[in-house]
Structure 1
Amino acid sequence: MRTTTAYGTRGSMTLVAGPIERRELRPRDVAVDVSHCGVCHSDLHAVHAHASSRADDLLVPGHEFVGTVTQIGALVAEFRVGDAVAVGNIVDSCGSCDMCRAGQENFCREFPTTTYGGRDRVDGTTTLGGFAREYVVDENFVYRRPTNLDPAAVAPLMCAGVTVWEPLRSHGVGPGSVVGVAGLGGLGHLAVKLARALGASVTVFTTSQQKADDARALGATDVIISTDRHAMAAARGRFDLIIDTISAPHAVEPYLDTIGLDGTLSVVGYLGEISVTALALLIGRKSLSSAGSGGRISTQELLDFCGEHDISADVEVLPSGQINTALERLARNDVRYRFVVDLSDLKNA
C-alpha cells in the first residue's frame, strides 16, 4: 500500500487532515497528484449523513478533481507521467452491461464504483475521495484536461458540467434551440454557458430578480422570475428543453407548462420524489426526464468542447485548510458558483 494525506471524517461534521492508504498501482492504474478538487452539495450531504449515522468508518469526500499523472501501471496505454488530467465521480463500472456497452457507464446496471464511498470491484475496499494529495484510478476513468483553462475552474466540469452536458447533447441542442435553465447555481451557470456555446437561445428561471444581471452576463438572453404567475403564463409552450437544476423540493408542473410540443423537462438538480399529473405531459406530448453524471465518451467530449470554446466554471478557490469553511458556507448557499479547494497546502497539514 502507499500512503498519502487526505481530509476525512469518522462520524463527525468536521473534516480532519490525516494519512490514508491507497492501493499500489495495478497494471492499468494511474496515480494522480491532485491539485484542485471541487466542493459539491453531494459532498455536504455525504458528510451530514455520515455524521448522523455516527459511523466509525472513514469518509473522504471529493469527486471532481484535476491534477497531474505521477506514475502509471505497466499496461497503461493512454497516459504518460506529466499529463494534465481530470477525474469525476465514477472510477469504475462492470463494463459489460447494456449501459456500459453503450458508453453510459454512469448508468451501469451493477452500479458504478463512485469516487468515494464506493466498493472497489477488485478487493472490495471502500473508495476514498479526492480531498487528498494523491488518487489512484483505472486509466479508463481518467480524462485529458484542456491545458488552456484554469485547472481550478475545470474541476467542477467533472460533476456539475457533465451533469448538464448530457441532456443538452442527448436532446440535440444546437442553433435554433430554445432552452430554459431553472436555477442559477453550480449546475445552472454551466448549463447557461454550454447551451449558449452550442448555439441555443437561453432563458434563466429564477426566484431572485438580483440574479438577472448575472444570468445575462453568463449568456442568457432572457430571465423569467418563476414566482411571477403572469411571466410564467406568458412563456407557455415556449421551450424545447428546460434543464431544471434546482436542488430543493419544488413543483415542476409550472415549468412543464412552458414546454412546447414534444419538448422535455430534464430534472437534474433534485433527485427525490416528484409529483406530476399525466395531463401535464399529455397536452403537447411532453417528456419528463433526468440525468446524472456522464459516461466516458461524453465526459471527454465535454472537456474537449470546453477547451475549444474557453468554458469553465465560475469558482471561489480556497486553500484546503479551509475545507470546513467551504462546507459551512455551501450549506448556507454562500458561494458563486462553486467552491474549489487548492490541495497544494495539504502536504504540510
Structure 2
Amino acid sequence: MPTTANGWGVESPTDAIHQITCERRDLKPEDVRITISHCGICHSDLHFAHDDWGMSHYPMIPGHEIVGVVEEVGSAVSSFAKGDRVAVGCMVDSCQNCEFCDGGEEQFCVEGSTFTYGVPDRHGGISQGGYSDHIVVRQEFVCRVPDALDMAHAAPLLCAGITTYSPLKRWGVKEGQKVAVIGMGGLGNMAVKLAKALGAEVTVISRSNDKEAAAKAAGASELLVSTDEEAMGAAAGRFHLILDTIPVGHSVDSYTPLLRPYGTLVLVGAPEPIPEVSGGTLIFGNRAVAGTMIGGVNETQEMLDFCAEHGVTPDIEVIKGSEIAKAWDTLAAGDMPHRYVIDIASS
C-alpha cells in the first residue's frame, strides 16, 4: 500500500516552507523504502522552491542529500536488506537502457534522469525529496554509507561531495598540482578538502579575506583576494584547475588568466549566463572553460568510499525541521563555509 510521508515543503514559488505531507508509492519489485535520518540543505533547494529555473512542480518537498536506513525492500532487490545504512543523491530514476545509463552516467540519460524532487516522475506523480521521514527509490539509485562515515556528515556528500569530486577526478587532479577554488560556501568547503586529499596544493579565491580562517582550516594553503589586482596579477598562470563554485551568474574573465597553459576553469555552481569570456586569454594559453554537473551513481559510491578512506567530511551545522526557514534565509544571504543538515529523525 502507498504510505504517507511527513515533511517540510512549499506549495508555490512564493510559499514559506512549512510542514506538509506527500504520498510515497507502494514498493515495486526493484524498490527500496528508506527511513530518512538526515538530509542536507543545498542552495539548489532554494532555487527549485522559488522556481528560479522555470522547471519546478508543486507541491514540493525538497532535499537531495539523503541518508538513512533501509526499512523494506521489493521482491527483486538483492543488493540491500533491512537495516543497511544507505544514501540517495540528486537522482532517483532513469531509463536504465540508453548508452549513458549503461555507462554509469545516469545524469545524462537520453530520456532524462528523474531528479529527486520537484519534477514529474516515471510513475505518474511528482518526485518528492528528503526533507521528509521516508522515501521510496529504485535500488539502482541507492548507495551504501560506509561505516566510517557519520550519517549527519555523510548527507552533504550526496550533492556537494559528488559535485566537486567528479570534476577533480575527470581533470585528473593529482599530487603536486595546484588547484584553486572560487568561493568558500558548502561546495567550496568540500572542493578544498577533496583536492587536498588527492594531493593538490589548494588556494581559495574570495572577494575578501573574511573566509581565510575557514579556507585554511579546510586545508587550503592560502586565500587569494579577487579584488586585489596586484595579487591576482602575481597569480597569473599558476593553476592547473580552477573550480568555480559561485552559485549565481558572473564573469569568469578575471579568473581565466590564473590558469596554466592547458588549464581548465570548471563551473560547478551557476547555470545562469556567463558573460565576458576573452577568447584571446583562452586561445593563447590553450585554456578552457568547462561545466560539470553531478556524477553517476557508481561515481557517487566511489566518492563515498574515498571520503571514508581519507577521513574527508564536510563542515556542518545540524538543525531541526523547525529551523529550515531560518537556514534558507541565511543561505540566501551569502556563502557559508559549512552545510546545514536537517536531523530528520529528531524532528
Deviations 1:48-73 (A, max 9, x none): 228x99x9931111111100001000
Secondary structure of the residue that 1:242 maps to in structure 2? strand
CA distance in 1: counterparts of 2:149 and 2:20, whole angstroms: 31
Q: Which amino acid aligns with 2:3?
A: R
Q: Give the aligned length.
A: 343
CA distance in 2: counterparts of 1:207 and 1:266, whole angstroms: 18
Q: How does 1:55-66 map to 2 (within 5 A)?
A: 57-66=58-67
CA distance in 2: counterparts of 1:177 and 1:334, whole angstroms: 26
Deviates more, 1:288-297 or 1:133-142: 288-297
CA distance in 1: counterparts of 2:93 and 2:289, whole angstroms: 28
Give the fraction of aligned pairs with identical amino acids, expressed as a percent: 44
Secondary structure of the residue that 1:125 maps to in structure 2? coil
Deviates more, 1:326-335 or 1:169-178: 326-335
Q: Which amino acid aligns with 1:114?
A: F
Give the match for residue 285 of structure 2: 284
Give the match for residue 110 of structure 1: 111
CA distance in 2: counterparts of 1:183 and 1:247, whole angstroms: 9
Secondary structure of the residue that 1:49 maps to in structure 2? coil
CA distance in 2: counterparts of 1:142 and 1:106, whole angstroms: 14
Secondary structure of the residue that 1:17 maps to in structure 2? strand
Q: Report deviation, 1:335.
A: 4.1
Give the match for residue 49 of structure 1: 51
- Work out whether residues 180 and 203 of structure 2, in 8 Å CA contact, stay in contact via their aligned partners in 1: yes
Give the match for residue 42 of structure 2: 40
Q: Does 1:236 align with 2:226?
A: no
Secondary structure of the residue that 2:165 maps to in structure 1? helix
CA distance in 2: counterparts of 1:85 and 1:154, whole angstroms: 10
Q: Give the TM-score taking structure 2 as reference length.
A: 0.95
Give the match for residue 16 of structure 1: 18
Q: How does 1:209-228 map to 2 (within 5 A)?
A: 209-228=209-228
Q: Does 1:25 align with 2:27?
A: yes
Q: Report deviation, 1:109.
A: 2.4
CA distance in 1: counterparts of 2:98 and 2:335, whole angstroms: 41
Give the match for residue 246 of structure 1: 246
Deviates more, 1:95-104 or 1:60-69: 95-104
Deviations 1:185-235 (A, max 9, x none): 010010000000001111111112121122111111122111111111111
CA distance in 2: counterparts of 1:267 and 1:91, whole angstroms: 24
Q: Which amino acid aligns with 2:299?
A: S
Secondary structure of the residue that 1:32 maps to in structure 2? strand
Q: Which amino acid aligns with 1:308?
A: E
CA distance in 2: counterparts of 1:199 and 1:169, whole angstroms: 12
Q: Report deviation, 1:334.
A: 7.1
CA distance in 2: counterparts of 1:208 and 1:326, whole angstroms: 23
Q: How does 1:249-268 map to 2 (within 5 A)?
A: 249-268=249-268
Q: Report deviation, 1:280.
A: 2.1
Secondary structure of the residue that 2:162 maps to in structure 1? helix
